[in-house]
Structure 1
Amino acid sequence: MDLVDLNRRAVDRCVELVAGVDAAALERPTPCAGWTLGDLLAHMIAQHRGFAAAADGNGRDRAAWEVRPLGPDPAVDYEAAARGVQASFGADGVLDRECWLPEFSEDSPFPGRMALTFHLVDYVVHGWDVAASLGVEADFAADLVAAAQRIAEQVPTGSVREEPGAAFGPALPAEPTASPMDALLLHLGRNPSWPKVG
């Protein structure tokens, strides 16, 4: 897999989705329990900045991961953060660097390739979250969903998913006929029928 290109395209699609967010939409609920769309965007911007810092060798600085209040034009702020992380992950040799991701582990760094897989899965899923909140289709390309699904299959299940602050909720059962996107969401604790089903 060309992880850099896949991640770039996932982020591009998220930028397109966030471009449809106006001030009135910021209070909409999202599939992320307890988060409005404004909360979700603030988190996504912070994660882009944090992952960019990690790829640049500055991931141990907790300030890089700080969630900040949204500015007057969240879509513009979001695109700036998105372009920043694309540039950082597009740098030569980034896949072989050590990346510190303090929200995942304070004890040791991750290979750049692994950090990039975390980011890719996160933004396919969070892109779906944004789309669901807005009532539109996420429309990620099939190869992006397939790549995210293969990576997500490595995410541990069990009690770790029930701990406070867990990145994903407990896995939900998937029918054999589930679409690849639905199967990905269910494995990571999202209900594809949200908000019709809690």
Structure 2
Amino acid sequence: MGTNPMSELIELVNSEASRLGEFLSQLDEASWSRDSACEGWKVGDVLGHLASGGATWANSITRAINGDAGPPEGGAFLQPGERGSSTIAQAAIAINQEMGTKLLETFSEGYDRLRQVMAGLTAEDWDKPCFHRRGPMPVRDYVGVRLQELTVHGWDIRSGLDETAELSKEPLADLVGRVPRWLTNAFRPGLDLPAPTRYRFQVTSPVPVAEDILVNRDSYQVEPSGSGQADVTFGCDTGNYI
């Protein structure tokens, strides 16, 4: 597989999984019970969430390659308006409690399997629809979601143990490109705001962003930052922006 957007994204996923696995292998037992930066989750809970994700992504991509983008056995699409975050939290905590000291082994095995599956992807597979609980998406986007999960939740773990921890820099350019999807998923109509409200993001390095988000009560739009006045301005680096 030569260097191309597909191989670059796959390599980012593999690198983040390896980097996080190495970090986790150096933690003592007491660290698993420390609070993470993800509210309400212990370090072990976050790892439980990530550990289950490796195997889940490997299975879903394998099914997608074979033309199946429907829910797996026991799975389902989210209903309109359903967020599913409480279910995810409950599952993460349950996995942590069930796996205990085997969590790191489960994490490593899941991402080894995912690495093998991604190594077999072809250019034709990249656009095949793949199951995601929010709705089918191309394999390329599904792999990108796994990079997002590893990067952000990896920071949740490290930041819970070291408040100076930062997001890994290598995935930032890719993650910036995924912000529009996050906004779509996170926006909730009916906000009690003066309408319209303009939020300006002045993001410096390593990946600059200069955008305004104009929010009305029931919708929003993203625009390049202009010379007009914003109601709220955020100035930060790319890691804090993500």
Matches within 5 A, 1:119-198: 119-135=146-162, 137-138=165-166, 140=168, 142-156=169-183, 157-159=186-188, 176-177=203-204, 178-184=236-242
**Computing the radius of gyration over CA atoms, which structure comes out larger, 1 or 2?**
2
Matches within 5 A, 1:1-198: 1=5, 2-57=8-63, 60-62=71-73, 68=95, 69-93=98-122, 94-102=125-133, 104-105=134-135, 109-135=136-162, 137-138=165-166, 140=168, 142-156=169-183, 157-159=186-188, 176-177=203-204, 178-184=236-242
Q: Amino acid of the residue matched to residue 126 of structure 1?
A: H
By how many angstroms is 1:175 displaced?
5.6
In the superposition, the TM-score normalised over structure 1's length comes to 0.72
By how many angstroms is 1:173 displaced?
7.8
The structure with the largest strand share of the pair is 2
Q: Give, in whole Å, the separation in 1 of the partners of 2:16 and 2:161.
A: 18
Greater displacement, 75-84 / 117-126: 75-84
Instruction: Encode CA deviations 1:73-127: one digit per residue, 9 max, x unaligned.
Output: 322221111212222222223423321123x23xxx2210111111111111011
By how many angstroms is 1:148 displaced?
1.6
Q: Amino acid of the residue matched to residue 129 of structure 2?
A: E
Q: How many residues align?
A: 169
Superposition CA RMSD, Å: 2.8
Change (3 A) 1:56 1:176: closer
Extract unaligned runs of 5+ from structure 1. 163-171, 185-198
Change (3 A) 1:31 1:78: same
Q: Give, in whole Å, the separation in 2 of the partners of 1:12 and 1:139.
A: 15
By how many angstroms is 1:41 displaced?
0.9
Q: Give, in whole Å, the separation in 2 of the partners of 1:134 and 1:21.
A: 10
Instruction: Encode CA deviations 1:23-69: one digit per residue, 9 max, x unaligned.
Output: 21111111212111111111111111211111110772256897532
In the superposition, the TM-score normalised over structure 2's length comes to 0.60
- Structure 1 moving runs of 4+ over 6 Å: none
Q: Amino acid of the residue matched to residue 39 of structure 2?
A: A
Extract unaligned runs of 5+ from structure 2. 76-87, 192-198, 205-235
- What percent identity do the matched residue pairs reach? 18
Q: Amino acid of the residue matched to residue 44 of structure 2?
A: G
